[in-house]
Amino acid sequence: MAARPANPVFATTRGGTDPRTASDWTSGQVFANNLRSLVGRAYPRIRGMVREPSWLFFEILLPFLTTSAFVLVYRALGAPDAYVGFVVLGGAMAAFWLNVVWMMAGQLYWEKSQGNLELYFAAPMNLMAILLGMAVGGLVMSSTRAAAVLVISTIVFGVTFQVEQWLLVIVVFCLTLSALYGLGMMLASLFLLWGREAFHMTNLVIEPVYFVSGLNFPVGRLGAIGALAIATIPFAVGLDAMRQLVFAGQPYITGTPSPEVEALILAAMTVVFAALARWLIRRIERMARSRGSLSIRWQ
């Protein structure tokens, strides 16, 4: 039986090779290798925004039209001006949820369909680094879209913000993103196991999550359903906390915990989702390398 080929080796400064395999790497070399993997997966997403400007145009125009429709509906109904601000902020934050569902959750399944997944398992790197690279690249893309929607909507509709705790706003925003992309990494593993059902799940969860998270209205208005969303969906928690902080003093945001409590919920979600994503990725790696296949029936 032919011997298994060694893992890829390091290139020396003279262009030769170092006979050590990945198992002989130091912790610093492992970190540098995973960092290169992260940058390599983030690069196509960031560079793609420049190479295909039309994508950026439609990524901004279509969400802005959706946000504008709800703003016009509220104004036609004579709703308080605060609700216009709620819609604008929700439209901006929706960019991150869409990126998690479409770009993160289904990414490993798409890589499998394109024949790249085998290369990831064979290469001497942590698959979490690949997912983190996807998250970083997607975060840059989504931030561009969210900022554009927020700025344009604010100028067009005259939204005014009342921020009293800037530091807490930044902390909540960062925790929201970390929890969302932690959820995305976990879903990427599950969608890989589900196969074609990933596309059905993607289409299934978008609109229901919008509703129970209070995308265009305060989630506290949903009562028990809103409380369940606050406990399970990071998008709902982060959006509600951001509204309380950005529109301080508004009487329409009631029935939900304070921003400080919601920040703690987001921190807990980040830890849980990241731990589950790491466990799922390791399980998938063992399945792929020991059995040569991926199946939803774990053994």
> Side chain identity at 66, as an amino acid letter?
T
pLDDT tops 70 at residue 16 = no
Does residue 3 lie in a domain region? Answer: no
Greater confidence (38 vs 18) lies with 38
Does residue 16 lie in a domain region? Answer: no
Does residue 231 lie in a domain region? Answer: yes
The span from the CA of 299 to the CA of 293, in Å, is 12
The boundaries of the domain holding residue 217 are 26-291
The answer to whether the CB of 169 falls within 8 A of the CB of 65 is no
- What confidence tens digit (pLDDT) does each residue in 39-75 have? 888 887 777 777 767 766 777 777 778 888 888 989 8
**pLDDT more than 90, % of the chain:** 11
Does residue 42 lie in a domain region? Answer: yes
Output the pTM of the full model. 0.79
Does residue 21 lie in a domain region? Answer: no
- What confidence tens digit (pLDDT) does each residue in 251-262 have? 778 778 899 999
Q: What is the pLDDT of residue 171?
A: 94
Does residue 20 lie in a domain region? Answer: no
* Mean of pLDDT over the chain: 79
Q: What is the pLDDT of residue 190?
A: 79
- SS3 sequence, the chain? CCCCCCCCCCECCCCCECCCCHHHCCHHHHHHHHHHHHHHHHHHHHHHHHHCHHHHHHHHHHHHHHHHHHHHHHHHHCCCHHHHHHHHHHHHHHHHHHHHHHHHHCHHHHHHHHCCHHHHHHCCCCHHHHHHHHHHHHHHHHHHHHHHHHHHHHHHHCCCCECCCHHHHHHHHHHHHHHHHHHHHHHHHHHHHHCCHHHHHHHHHHHHHHHHCCCCCCHHHHCHHHHHHHHHCHHHHHHHHHHHHHECCCCCCCCCCCHHHHHHHHHHHHHHHHHHHHHHHHHHHHHHHHHCCCCCCCC
> Side chain identity at 240, as an amino acid letter?
D
Does residue 142 lie in a domain region? Answer: yes
pLDDT tops 70 at residue 218 = yes
- How many domains does the chain contain in total? 1
The span from the CA of 75 to the CA of 61, in Å, is 21
Q: What is the pLDDT of residue 149?
A: 82
pLDDT tier, 22 (very low <50, low <70, confident <90, very high otherwise): low
Does residue 99 lie in a domain region? Answer: yes
